[in-house]
C-alpha cells in the first residue's frame, strides 16, 4: 500500500472513539475523494450511533422489566430499525459490497440470515404455545373470579382441572416440540391451502419455510455464532469502513436471535454460544451487559419453558395455586381467602399483559422475518447468485 504521512493504528479499533472510519481520511489525498468519503463516513458513523443508542436504552432496563413482553417489543423495534438502515447502506454502496473483499462478508451474513428465518418461525410457534397457555390461565381466572362473595368447591374443582391442563400444556417434551414444528407456518405464507400453493410459487418464500422435527434452536444459534470475528485494520481500510458495518449487523442479529430463543419457547432451546465483542465498539458494553444478564437469568431458571417475564409469572402462579387448591378445606379461612384473592389479582395482571402484548409481539417477529427475507433477496440479486 502507498506510504503516507499518517500512521495506521496497530489496533483495528483504537480510533473508534473519534470514529473508526476516520482511519481512511488520512489515507485519501484527492479533494474530490475526500468529499465522497466524508459523506459515506457520516452515514456509517450514524449507523454505529443508532445501534449504540438503541442498545444503551435497552440495557438500562430494571430487573423487573427485563425480558418482559414490553422489553421484547423494544428489542425487536430496535432490530427492525437498525436492519433497515443497514439495508439502505448496502444498497447505496452496492458496487463496493458486490466485489471482493466485501462480497465474502456479505455472503456469510446472508447465510446467517437463512438460519435467522428459521428462528423467527420457531419463535412464532412459541408465541402460539403461550396463547394456548393463556386460554387455561383465563379459565382459572374465570373459575375463581366468578363468585366475589365466597369461594365454593365447584369453583375450585374447575380451577384444579384448568391448572392440571395448564401444567400438562407447559411440559417441555420433545414430542410437543415436534408436533409444533410439523405444523409450522412460515411468515411467507397464509394459512389457507389456496394461498399456500400460490405463495410456494413466489420468490418471497423463505428458503427454510418449515423446521423439521429434529431442528434445534441451540444448534442454529451455534452455527450463526460460528466464525463471527471483527474485521482487521487492513480490512476496515480496504472496505472504507463497510466491513465494520457488516460485522455490527451480524452481532446485532446474533444477539436478537439469542434473546428470542432465550425468552420464547423454542424447539431444543439452548444458549451455549460464545458471544464477545471488542470493547472498542461503542455499543459493545451495552450488548455484552445484556448478554450477561440473559445468561444469568438462564442459569437461575434452567427448567423454565422460556425466560419471558410473563412465562415466569405463569409458572410461579401455577405452582403456587396448585399447592393452594390441593390444600384448602371448606369453608375457607380468612387467610386462605386473602391468599386466593392476592393470587387472582396477580393473575389478572399477567393475563392483561399477555392479551395486550402477544399479538403485537408476533407481529414484530413477523416484520423482522420479512425485513431479513427482503434484504436477503435483494443482496442475492446484487451478488448475482
DSSP secondary structure, 13-62, as one string: TTTTTT-GGGGGGGG---HHHHHHHHHHHHHHHHHHHHHHHHHHHHHT--
Decide if pLDDT at 176 tops 90: no
Q: Residue 212: is its pLDDT beyond 90?
A: no
Q: Which domain holds residue 132?
A: 20-184+207-383
197 falls within a domain: no
Q: Which residues of 139-171 are buried (b: 16+ CB within 10 A; e: fewer)?
A: bbbebbbeeeeebeeebbebbbebbebbeeebe
Looking at every residue in the chain, the average pLDDT score rounds to: 83
33-to-16, 26, 37, 241 alpha-carbon distances in Å: 22, 12, 6, 15
Amino acid 350: pLDDT: 93
Instruction: Name the band, by pLDDT with cuts 50, 70 and 90, for residue 41.
Output: confident
Is the residue at 4 inside a domain? Answer: no
Q: What is the largest CA-CA distance in the chain?
A: 91
- Does residue 175 or residue 105 have the better pLDDT? 105
Q: Is residue 9 part of a domain?
A: no
Task: Please report the pLDDT score of residue 203 as a whole number.
Answer: 34
User: Does 116 have pLDDT greater than 70?
Assistant: yes
Which tops the pLDDT comparison, 63 or 192? Answer: 63
Task: Report the domain count for the chain.
Answer: 1
More confident residue, 344 or 203: 344
Per-residue confidence (pLDDT) for residue 4, from 0 to 100: 43
**Overall average pLDDT of the 135-163 stretch:** 86
Residue 370 located in a structural domain? yes
| 15: in domain | no
Q: Is the pLDDT of residue 277 over 50?
A: yes
324-367 residue pLDDT tens:
888 888 888 889 888 888 988 898 899 999 999 999 999 999 99
Domain membership of residue 190 (yes or no) is no
Predicted confidence band at 210 (pLDDT cuts at 50, 70, 90)? low
**In-domain check, residue 6:** no
The DSSP call for residue 332 is P
pLDDT at res. 207: 37
- Least confident residue range of 9-18, 72-81, 313-322: 9-18
Q: What is the pLDDT of residue 39?
A: 52
Residue 67 buriedness (CB in 10 A; 0-12 / 13-18 / 19+): buried
Contact (Cβ atoms closer than 8 angstroms) between residue 251 and residue 229: no
d(CA 24, CA 34): 9
Q: Give the closest residue to 121 by CA, choosing from 315, 10, 261, 277.
A: 261
In this model, does residue 375 exceed pLDDT 50? yes
pLDDT (tens digit per residue) in 239-272:
999 999 999 999 999 999 999 999 999 989 899 9
Statement: residue 106 has pLDDT above 50: yes
Residue 19 has pLDDT above 70, yes or no: no
CB 188 within 8 A of CB 222: no
* 15 CB neighbour count, 10 Å cutoff: 18
Q: What is the pTM of this model?
A: 0.82
Q: Give the Cα separation of 19 and 56 in Å (integer).
A: 18
Share of the chain above pLDDT 90, in %: 61
Residue 293 has a pLDDT of: 97
* Confidence category of residue 149, pLDDT binned at 50, 70, 90: low
pLDDT score at 329 = 85
Residue 256 counted as domain residue: yes
Which among 171-175, 220-224, 324-328 has the top mean pLDDT? 220-224
| Stretch among 205-209, 239-243, 266-270, 305-309 having the lowest mean pLDDT | 205-209
Amino acid at each position: 500500500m502507498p506510504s503516507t504521512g499518517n500512521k495506521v493504528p496497530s489496533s483495528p479499533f483504537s480510533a473508534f472513539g473519534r470514529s473508526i472510519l476516520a482511519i481512511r481520511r488520512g489515507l485519501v489525498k484527492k479533494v474530490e475523494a475526500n468529499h465522497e468519503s466524508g459523506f459515506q463516513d457520516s452515514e456509517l458513523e450514524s449507523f454505529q450511533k443508532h445501534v449504540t443508542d438503541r442498545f444503551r436504552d435497552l440495557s438500562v432496563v430494571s430487573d423487573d422489566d427485563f425480558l418482559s413482553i414490553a422489553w421484547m417489543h423494544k428489542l425487536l423495534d430496535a432490530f427492525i430499525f437498525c436492519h433497515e438502515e443497514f439495508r439502505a447502506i448496502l444498497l447505496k454502496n452496492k458496487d463496493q459490497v458486490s466485489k471482493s473483499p466485501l462480497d465474502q462478508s456479505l455472503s456469510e451474513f446472508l447465510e446467517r440470515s437463512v438460519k435467522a428465518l428459521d428462528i423467527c418461525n420457531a419463535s412464532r410457534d412459541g408465541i402460539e404455545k403461550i396463547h394456548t397457555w393463556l386460554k387455561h390461565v383465563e379459565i382459572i381466572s374465570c373459575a375463581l373470579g366468578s363468585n366475589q362473595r365466597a369461594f365454593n368447591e365447584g369453583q375450585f374443582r374447575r380451577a384444579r382441572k384448568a391448572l392440571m391442563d395448564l401444567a400438562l400444556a407447559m411440559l417441555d417434551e420433545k414430542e410437543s416440540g415436534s408436533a409444533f414444528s410439523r405444523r409450522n407456518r412460515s411468515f411467507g405464507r397464509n394459512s389457507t391451502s389456496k394461498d399456500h400453493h400460490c405463495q410456494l410459487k413466489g420468490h418471497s418464500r423463505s428458503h427454510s419455510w418449515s423446521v423439521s422435527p429434529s431442528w434445534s434452536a441451540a444448534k442454529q444459534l451455534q452455527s450463526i455464532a460460528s466464525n463471527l470475528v471483527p474485521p482487521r485494520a487492513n480490512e476496515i481500510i480496504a472496505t472504507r469502513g463497510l466491513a465494520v458495518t457488516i460485522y455490527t449487523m451480524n452481532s446485532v442479529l446474533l444477539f436478537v436471535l439469542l434473546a428470542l430463543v432465550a425468552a420464547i419457547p423454542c424447539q431444543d432451546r439452548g444458549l451455549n454460544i460464545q458471544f464477545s465483542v471488542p470493547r472498542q465498539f461503542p455499543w459493545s458494553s451495552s450488548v455484552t451487559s445484556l448478554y450477561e444478564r440473559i445468561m444469568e437469568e438462564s442459569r437461575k431458571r434452567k427448567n423454565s419453558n422460556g425466560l419471558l417475564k410473563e412465562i415466569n409469572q405463569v409458572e410461579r402462579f401455577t405452582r403456587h395455586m396448585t399447592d393452594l387448591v390441593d390444600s384448602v378445606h371448606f369453608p375457607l379461612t380468612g387467610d386462605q381467602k386473602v391468599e386466593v384473592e392476592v393470587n387472582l389479582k396477580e393473575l389478572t395482571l399477567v393475563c392483561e399483559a399477555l392479551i395486550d402484548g402477544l399479538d403485537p409481539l408476533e407481529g414484530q417477529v413477523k416484520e423482522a422475518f420479512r425485513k431479513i427475507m427482503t434484504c436477503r433477496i435483494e443482496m442475492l440479486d446484487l451478488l448475482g447468485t
